[in-house]
Chain A
Amino acid sequence: AQKVTQAQTEISVVEKEDVTLDCVYETRDTTYYLFWYKQPPSGELVFLIRRNSFDEQNEISGRYSWNFQKSTSSFNFTITASQVVDSAVYFCALRETSGSRLTFGEGTQLTVNP
């Protein structure tokens, strides 16, 4: 069965600090996709990134970067020079070949203080 673990329940940083959100997953499939979503205080879920299991290249988008390591089953998310607007709950999710289901981690509450 697939599983996603986000061990950090809450993280608090001061503005301009770098912060890394951890995501570890379990799956028996060789083909799968990993996702990150952001849920700001307003409550909606915003898609951030998708990564397939065959592409281990790191990705950078502005202040956001993602490190996918198949050897450790991890897909970590780093925010560089954090800002107050980054305060949100961040979810990592996994989708296997075998179904339509998207399995979410428990989420990490990130608070960026001014």
Chain B
Amino acid sequence: NAGVTQTPKFQVLKTGQSMTLQCAQDMNHNSMYWYRQDPGMGLRLIYYSASEGTTDKGEVPNGYNVSRLNKREFSLRLESAAPSQTSVYFCASSESGTLKGEQYFGPGTRLTVT
């Protein structure tokens, strides 16, 4: 099993460009998440999908959109990138939306917006 995979691993964008970060999991998990990690701030939740067909905003959703394409895939789109979106982005999945399910993380995408 590959677990959680993310593409691309690195990306440089110019301000105003758009891009989609891809995430897929092969663990048959219902719930998927997108986080951003910034120095000194831990990980902050951008959006999550408790199950296929549903998405909800997290702590920092502004400037992002998501699509839960199917049970396996959950993409994150930046419509008009800004330097403040320079960050490391992590996708995660968990068995269900239940309280105890630990989340499994992908390797991350390092995004720089110039």
Contact = CB atoms under 8 A, between A and B. Distances in A.
Given A32-B99, A100-B31, A47 B43 contact: no
Nearest to A4: B42
A35 B50 contact: no
B103 A52 contact: no
A41 to B, nearest CB: 12
For chain B, which range describes its interface: under 10, 10 to 19, 20 to 34, or 35 or more residues? 20 to 34
Given A52-B100, A100-B50, A43 B108 contact: yes
B107 A106 contact: no
A64 interface: no
B102 A47 contact: yes
Contacts of A91: 42-43
Contact of B99 (A44, A95, A107): A95
Contacts of B99: 31-33, 52, 95-97
Contacts of A31: 99
Nearest to A35: B102
A84 interface: no
Interface of B: 31, 33, 40-45, 48, 50, 56, 58-59, 88, 90, 92, 97, 99-100, 102-108
6 contacts: A33-B99, A44-B105, A47-B102, A91-B43, A96-B99, A101-B48
